């Protein structure tokens, strides 16, 4: 059965436009309460990023959960992976995240975690949607849920992050720039790196409700590059608005993306003798990573785009490491979901253990030139359109065996994503633009 509201990463959209409205969120809280209630003293964790609309939606979810007889534990601004961790360790029935991740402030969304800190199954999401079609009913007053604030949430998660670094290893002598994207990690990430001994320069840590991901963070690393170079830092760490993705910058100001970071972590685990199973990437994973892992005799499997699909494939093949070039990195030997801080810590621990710089560690992987073009669309596009497929075949013929073409609809935004990859940058640029022109033509007709 097709899901009506849930996409690849929860429910997301523009604030004030259905379904991202207060009345829907109240109903969603109630529906989730129906699914997660067990008749006992149960509660659900609710956290958020720094968007101004988070206050409104936090209250709406709380009201819906309360009406269903489920307690609410409010975390306030907290990274998405922190909510996954706290849901598991505080023995909550579920965790709810109010966030639109790397999107602008005027978007928002809802993500859920199971009691084990993992993404919900399709079955549970469909069950929640079933209750959304029913009228709200309120339990009798003596059974209403109660709301409380969790006052030590940040401290718990900071200690958890620090414990992901090998015992006895610290970051003494390192100068690190940390970019919090004016998002949910602003009260967390700087403390983690400082308490491990690094000298930390923090940027993007002054959220005002409207500036999340604006000019800062994993999707806009220009200020991080400038700050690393200006302060002669060893490296920079850029997180996104909800802290589940990371990219890094080396001491030369070169951006190190998710594929390169996964390669470094894989090589580190291999050196330590702890790497199990294949590494799992996605359809967007750079060919250079596939080739670099092959030289290490480490297989790469490709999942559909979306960290939930990466996690599912890791579980199926008993793997422990995977992710996306956008910076969603999953280290299942450390946590249950993509975690930007945890991933960055694994890379920095390898730097300290080997004495090599981030720049040196990434050199084992040579990225193929890759161009990604996002085309906005107001309606669903048939990617099997004859004109589009003819254009794709022409590009594939031109690239031969030394490249790839990928067209897909975004699961979180009204976009068609066009990716072309090959050996020669000029050819890749030319083919990507030609393909984009043909897709635009199909969209407009």
pLDDT tens for residues 177-236?
A: 999 999 999 999 999 999 999 999 999 999 999 999 999 999 999 999 999 999 999 999
Arch. (CATH architecture) of 370-444: 2-Layer Sandwich (3.30)
Q: Is 231 left (phi over 0), alpha (psi -120 to 50) or beta?
A: alpha
Going across the sheet that includes 300-303, the strands are 300-303, 279-282, 321-323, 329-331
> Which CATH number fits the domain 11-152, given the four candidates 3.30.110.30, 3.40.120.10, 3.30.360.10, 3.30.750.24?
3.40.120.10
Counting Cβ atoms within 10 Å, is residue 299 exposed (0-12), middle (13-18) or buried (19+)? middle
**Which residue ranges in the chain fall short of pLDDT 50?**
none
Catalytic residue, chosen from 53, 99, 101, 164, is: 101
pTM of the model: 0.91
pLDDT of residue 40: 63
Q: Which two tokens stand for residue 301?
A: 């499997």
Q: Which residues pair with residue 238 across a beta bridge?
A: 179, 247
**What b/e sequence results for 402-437 when a residue is b if at least 16 CB atoms lie within 10 Å of its CB, and e otherwise?**
ebbbbbeebbbbeebbbbbbbeeeebbeebbeebbe
Report pLDDT digits (tens) over 213-223: 999 999 999 99
pLDDT of residue 39: 65
List where CATH 3.30.310.50 sits in the chain.
370-444
What would the CATH number be for the domain defined by 257-367? Answer: 3.40.120.10
Residues 98/20, Cβ–Cβ less than 8 Å: no
List where CATH 3.40.120.10 sits in the chain.
11-152, 170-255, 257-367
Superfamily of domain 170-255: Alpha-D-Glucose-1,6-Bisphosphate, subunit A, domain 3 (3.40.120.10)
Q: Which residues pair with residue 203 across a beta bridge?
A: 179
Among 372, 357, 364, which Cα is nearest to 253's? 357
101 is catalytic: yes
């Amino acid at each position: 059965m097709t899901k009506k509201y849930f996409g690849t990463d929860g429910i997301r959209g523009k604030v004030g436009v259905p379904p991202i409205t207060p009345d829907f969120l109240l109903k969603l809280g109630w529906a989730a309460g129906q699914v997660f209630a067990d008749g006992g003293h149960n509660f659900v964790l609710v956290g958020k990023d720094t968007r101004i609309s988070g206050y409104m939606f936090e209250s709406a979810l709380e009201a819906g959960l309360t009406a269903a007889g489920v307690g609410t534990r409010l975390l306030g601004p907290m990274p998405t992976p922190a909510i996954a961790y706290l849901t598991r360790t505080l023995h909550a029935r579920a965790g709810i995240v109010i966030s639109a991740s790397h999107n602008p402030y005027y978007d928002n969304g809802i993500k859920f975690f199971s009691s084990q800190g993992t993404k919900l199954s399709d079955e549970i999401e469909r069950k929640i949607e079933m209750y959304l079609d029913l009228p709200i009913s309120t339990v009798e007053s003596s059974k209403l849920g109660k709301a409380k604030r969790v006052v030590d949430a940040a401290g718990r998660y900071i200690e958890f992050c620090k414990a992901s670094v090998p015992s006895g290893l610290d970051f003494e002598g390192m100068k690190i720039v940390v970019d919090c994207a004016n998002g949910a990690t602003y009260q967390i990430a700087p403390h983690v790196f400082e308490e491990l001994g690094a000298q930390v320069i923090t940027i993007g840590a002054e959220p005002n409700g409207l500036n999340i991901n604006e000019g800062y963070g994993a999707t806009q690393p220009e200020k991080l590059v400038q700050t690393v170079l200006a302060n002669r830092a060893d490296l920079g760490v850029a997180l996104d608005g909800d802290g589940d993705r990371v990219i890094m910058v080396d001491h030369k100001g070169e951006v190190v993306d998710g594929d390169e970071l996964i390669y470094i972590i894989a090589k580190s685990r291999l050196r330590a003798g702890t790497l199990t199973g294949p590494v799992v990437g996605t359809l967007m994973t750079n060919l250079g990573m596939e080739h670099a892992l092959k030289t290490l005799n480490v297989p790469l499997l490709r999942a559909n785009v979306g960290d939930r699909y990466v996690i599912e494939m890791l579980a199926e093949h008993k793997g422990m490491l995977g992710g996306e070039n956008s910076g969603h990195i999953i280290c299942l030997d450390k946590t249950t979901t993509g975690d930007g801080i945890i991933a960055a810590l694994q890379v920095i621990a390898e730097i300290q253990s080997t004495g090599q710089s981030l720049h040196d560690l990434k050199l084992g992987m040579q990225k193929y030139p890759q161009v990604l073009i996002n085309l906005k669309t107001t309606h669903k596009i048939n990617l099997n359109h004859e004109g589009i497929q003819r254009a794709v075949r022409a590009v594939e013929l031109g690239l031969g065996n030394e490249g790839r073409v990928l067209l897909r609809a975004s699961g979180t935004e009204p976009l068609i994503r066009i990716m072309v990859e090959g050996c020669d940058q000029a050819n890749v640029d030319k083919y990507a633009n030609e393909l984009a022109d043909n897709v635009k033509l199909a969209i407009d007709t």
